[in-house]
Amino acid sequence: MSKVARIPGYQSKNPKQNRGIIGDREIRYKCSLQNVILDVLRGRPGWTEVPGQNSQVPAAQQGTRPSNDGDWDFYWCDREWLHQNYDTMFLHEHQKILHFRNHYELTRKNLMVKNLKRLRKQTEREQGKTEAQSFDFYPTTYELPSEYHIFVEEFKKNLGIIWIMKPAAKSQGKGIFLFRRLKDITDWKKGEYQPLSDQTRDVPETYVVQRYIENPLLIGGRKFDVRVYVLVCSYNPLKVWLYRGGFARFSNTRFSLDSIEDTYVHLTNVAVQKNAPDYDPEKGCKWSTQQLRKYLAAKHGVDKVQKMFKSIDNIIIKSLQSVQKIIINDKHCFEMYGYDVLLDSDLKPWLIEINASPSLTASGKEDYDLKFGLLSDLLNVLDLENRLTGKEKRIGGWDLLWDDGPIVADDNMDCTPANGSAVSTPNSYLGCFNDRKKQLREIYLTAQSVKKS
């Protein structure tokens, strides 16, 4: 632990204070990705990369250090690796690894909705209809082919509305299309989806069909969605952190319902938009969440915007609760989710999907800085160095939203309603000022003096 800390307050001058859960030695990590997370890990004082099968350390350097799996303390692995190895792997007390075993219960589009529907029903049964309405944040959705007949009934009740069809397990807008007529899916069924009786294929690919939000909130005539980062350190008890930073992703082309086949109008994924013929990489298609919050507050009023952000908190907590009893909880695991939220013209947030591996590749300088801060602070929350007290409600840009119950804010910072009267304001600051370095300096100093005394 001899390197100089880059984050002020990060490393104590007293070597005894630098003992982590690992003990009095460097922290050894593995990383399956080559993007901002690797930069963060490589730049972290006292952390050393372990060569191994998935490590980025060149093969020539391998053999200088032990490479069997028990020799790492922290592993930013990909999902495939976890699926292949978790069941046969023994995790030592000190080891931390990305992803819970069955994270897909929340991050596959069909399973997410299935779990939400189940908790909604249970809530209605136990607490009544009004309470169950707090689940009205995902568009009506059916799984195909299993719920095809129920979907057709619903379709006939609402002729003329637009539906969106999405492969359950794909991402980046792949395989998505919009339709108004049942005939369009008849064509799709003939082309893409083969019935089970067709012996030449495996089980048909699962899709979800979802009511399309026809009235998205527009800025400059363009549709956007919001990426929100959420960190879960434990499912039992549920412990949830919300990152203040994030971004809005805009479509490149003005919104219109006349051209429902035009993905550049309707899908806000960067992977889709960057292929648009008039896409300008300089201008890009992102706003920071802070910029968005300021704009919305100026246009719609602080109170309305505060209410909207509170609804996003509700989406986060309800969705996590919907899988709380299903996820295989393991104290070695953590998950950083990327939530995709769409706002409609009434400023109502809709949950579109939850990603277990949100992109950590930076699209520009601002995006790099956001992701670097996000991931550095994630490591600060996990605190393998054991420098914090464990009682913090805020660590850098992460605010503790839920710890077996809602967390109440200590102060009314610059995002609370104008009248400032809110009693028990939630500890939630999405899109608020993120003075993370100053805050880290303060909490590390406080933690040092608490530990000394």
Q: What share of the chain is helix, strand, coil (3-state, %, to 5)?
A: 35, 20, 45
Q: Is 31 in the site for ligand ADP (CB under 6 A)?
A: no
- To ligand ADP, the closest distance from the beta carbon of 82 in angstroms equals 20
Rank residues 166 and 244 by Cβ distance to ligand ADP and give the closer one: 166
Span 134-153, contacts to ligand ADP by CB under 6 A: 139
- Contact between residue 110 and residue 208 where contact means Cβ atoms under 8 Å apart: yes
Per CB under 6 A, the list member of 44, 103, 120, 166 interacting with ligand ADP is 166
> With the CA atoms of 382, 384, 385 and 390 taken in that order, what torsion angle do they form, in degrees rounded to the nearest 10?
50
Sign of CA dihedral 391, 393, 394, 399: positive
Q: Is 353 in the site for ligand ADP (CB under 6 A)?
A: yes
Rank residues 230 and 342 by Cβ distance to ligand ADP and give the closer one: 342
Both tokens assigned to 310? 């509170």
Q: Which stretch binds ligand ADP (CB under 6 A): 33-41, 166-174, 183-191, 438-446?
A: 166-174
The amino acid present at 123, given as its one-letter code, is T
Is residue 136 packed enough to be buried (19+ CB in 10 Å), middle (13-18) or exposed (0-12)? exposed
- Contact between residue 252 and residue 278 where contact means Cβ atoms under 8 Å apart: yes
Rank residues 217 and 342 by Cβ distance to ligand ADP and give the closer one: 342
Q: Is 274 in the site for ligand ADP (CB under 6 A)?
A: no
Per CB under 6 A, the list member of 49, 69, 340, 367 interacting with ligand ADP is 340
How big is the site for ligand ADP, counted in residues (CB under 6 A)? 20
Sign of CA dihedral 190, 196, 198, 199: positive
- What is the distance between the alpha carbons of residues 151 and 198, in angstroms, rounded to a whole number? 23
Q: Which stretch binds ligand ADP (CB under 6 A): 30-38, 79-87, 162-170, 189-197?
A: 162-170
Look at residues 268, 284, 252 and name the one whose alpha carbon lies nearest to residue 173. Answer: 268
What is the SS3 string spanning 339-373?
A: EEEEEECCCCEEEEEEECCCCCCCCCHHHHHHHHH
Rank residues 166 and 387 by Cβ distance to ligand ADP and give the closer one: 166
Q: Quick one: which H or E segment has residue 246?
A: strand 238-250
Build a one-symbol-per-residue string for 206-245: x at contacts with ligand ADP by CB under 6 A, - elsewhere: ----x-xx-----------x--------------------
Span 309-328, contacts to ligand ADP by CB under 6 A: none
Q: Is 267 in the site for ligand ADP (CB under 6 A)?
A: yes
Q: What is the DSSP string of 402-417?
A: EESSBPBPSS--TTS-
Q: Is 170 in the site for ligand ADP (CB under 6 A)?
A: yes
Rank residues 52 and 246 by Cβ distance to ligand ADP and give the closer one: 246
Per CB under 6 A, the list member of 18, 269, 290, 319 interacting with ligand ADP is 269
Rank residues 268 and 290 by Cβ distance to ligand ADP and give the closer one: 268
- What is the distance between the alpha carbons of residues 266 and 337, in angstroms, rounded to a whole number? 23
Per CB under 6 A, the list member of 112, 352, 356, 447 interacting with ligand ADP is 352
Q: Name the residues that contact ligand ADP, by CB under 6 A.
A: 139, 164, 166, 170-174, 176, 210, 212-213, 225, 267-269, 340, 342, 352-353
